[in-house]
């Protein structure tokens, strides 16, 4: 989902990151189809989902791409402060705009807002501001926001590894996380949804986690080596604890999500000569085996079929592998454009669907024409949000990073000089 800022009007077909744009474009379209099928293609959805979980497929492709890009971004900059500035200005402007528009539409009755479950507005707002709301026991204002909580957890873990100089151990981290997922299922570990919130209270957890996150990012971005390590470790522990004990997905799946992202990182290291392809292939095999075994042992459940989930994961890994194999080939312009605006596509489409559901309602029978019409409206809208929300935000982030660069150079982590 994440990418260096580029304007879609003139994509570079042979760009070093063109294949990643293609993967993001494919993933975005599949996720949009998954969600829009509730409204326009209910019959097809009922038949397809048990066999192929399209939502998980698209999300896993996004996670693999994020794993490939995000740690490289940190190591290329060599500075935690610059990394966080880049992430904040990359992710938050569109997120804030989408949430604001959704709330406005809800107030005027055009779209229905999700029930807060009795939680206070301040608690929900603060949880969303951390982007960890999915792991803090609060409802997501938009369902798709749950994946951003795992993205944020990954950022915190990547920074933690970087500050303690273990960032080159991506393969080992990926295998350990996948192994823990398999062990948790084999041991029958089953926790209630948002178990930690139920134990200490959602409000208390949100307050403590928010403070811990601010402290972690602030210290990790400081000029003191000791504070950098403290902040990095604090953020990493926070993320890991929340994924383990307070997710809404099963423990094993939360661990698999993180393992898949670190698998993407391992692929990046192999491609740039910092690991062997053989070791990376073994890592991929172990992660896939543990993930598939975990899903199979977990079995079928509410809104979950192991066959659909397993097929989705395997196809996501194969899609990423095919993109990697073809990375030096010319990428179709349509896919590079879709990849460039994929973050807008991902966040804007549920708002448009909320308006349609709140005004026209969902169809009981399939309508391919309405499905196509939905995409025809969505994609031009996303071009606009990318151009006028995402790009300015990224520009502001680059300017701020450039302004702080002289001071950042003095605060570089020693490990940063190894490159990406």
Compute how many other C-beta atoms are within 10 angstroms of the C-beta atom of residue 61.
27
Distance (Å, whole) CA 381 – CA 258: 32
Mean pLDDT for the chain? 90
Confidence of residue 2 (pLDDT cuts 50, 70, 90): very low
Question: Residues 183, 184, 187, CA angle at the centre, nearest 5°?
Answer: 80
Reported as a single tens digit per residue, the pLDDT across 254-300 is: 999 999 999 999 999 999 999 999 999 999 999 999 999 999 999 88
Residue 236 pLDDT exceeds 90? yes
Please, are residues 315 and 57 in contact by the beta-carbon 8 Å criterion? yes
The mean per-residue pLDDT over the stretch 382-386 comes to: 97
The tens digit of pLDDT for each residue in 99-122 reads: 999 999 998 988 888 877 778 899
What pLDDT is stored for residue 249 in this prediction? 92
Choose among 420, 378, 387, 342: nearest CA to 62. 342
pLDDT tens digits, 165-174: 999 999 999 9
* pTM for the model: 0.91
**Residue 7 predicted with pLDDT over 80:** no
Q: Which residues pair with 301 in a beta bridge?
A: 304
- Any idea of the CA torsion for 115, 121, 123, 126, to the nearest 10 degrees? 110
The residue with greater pLDDT, 128 or 13, is: 128
> pLDDT value at position 115?
79
């Amino acid at each position: 989902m994440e990418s260096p800022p580029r304007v879609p009007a003139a994509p570079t077909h042979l760009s070093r990151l063109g294949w990643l744009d293609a993967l993001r474009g494919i993933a975005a379209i599949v996720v949009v189809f998954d969600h829009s099928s509730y409204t326009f293609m209910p019959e097809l959805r009922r038949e397809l989902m048990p066999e192929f979980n399209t939502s998980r497929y698209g999300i896993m492709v996004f996670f693999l791409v994020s794993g490939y890009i995000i740690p490289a971004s940190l190591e290329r900059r060599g500075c935690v402060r610059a990394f966080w500035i880049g992430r904040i200005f990359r992710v938050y402007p569109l997120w804030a705009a989408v949430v604001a528009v959704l709330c406005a539409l809800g107030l005027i009755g055009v779209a229905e807002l999700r029930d807060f479950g009795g939680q206070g507005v301040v608690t929900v707002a603060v949880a969303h501001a951390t982007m960890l709301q999915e792991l803090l026991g609060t409802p997501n204002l938009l369902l798709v926001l749950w994946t951003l909580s795992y993205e944020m957890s990954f950022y915190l873990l990547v920074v933690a590894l970087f500050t303690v100089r273990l960032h080159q151990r991506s393969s080992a981290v990926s295998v350990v996380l996948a192994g823990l997922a398999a062990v948790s299922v084999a041991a029958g570990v089953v926790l209630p949804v948002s178990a930690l919130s139920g134990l200490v209270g959602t409000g208390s957890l949100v307050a403590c986690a928010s403070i811990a996150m601010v402290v972690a990012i602030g210290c990790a971005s400081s000029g003191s080596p000791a504070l950098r390590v403290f902040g990095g470790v604090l953020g990493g522990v926070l993320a890991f604890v929340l994924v383990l004990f307070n997710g809404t997905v099963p423990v094993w799946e939360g661990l698999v999500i993180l393992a898949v992202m670190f698998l993407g990182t391992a692929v990046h290291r192999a491609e740039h000569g910092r690991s062997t392809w053989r070791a990376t292939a073994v890592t991929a095999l172990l992660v896939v085996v543990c993930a598939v075994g975990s899903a199979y042992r977990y079995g079928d459940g509410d809104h979950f079929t192991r066959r659909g989930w397993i097929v989705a994961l395997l196809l996501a890994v194969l899609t990423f592998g095919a993109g990697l194999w073809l990375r030096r080939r010319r990428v179709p312009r349509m896919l590079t454009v879709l990849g460039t605006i994929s973050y807008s596509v991902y966040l804007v489409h549920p708002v448009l669907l909320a308006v349609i559901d709140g005004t026209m309602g969902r169809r009981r029978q399939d309508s391919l024409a309405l499905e196509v019409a939905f995409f025809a409206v969505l994609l031009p809208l996303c071009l606009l949000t990318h151009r006028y929300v995402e790009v300015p935000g990224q520009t502001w982030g680059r300017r701020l990073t450039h302004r702080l660069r002289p001071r950042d150079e003095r605060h570089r982590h020693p490990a940063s000089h190894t490159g990406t």
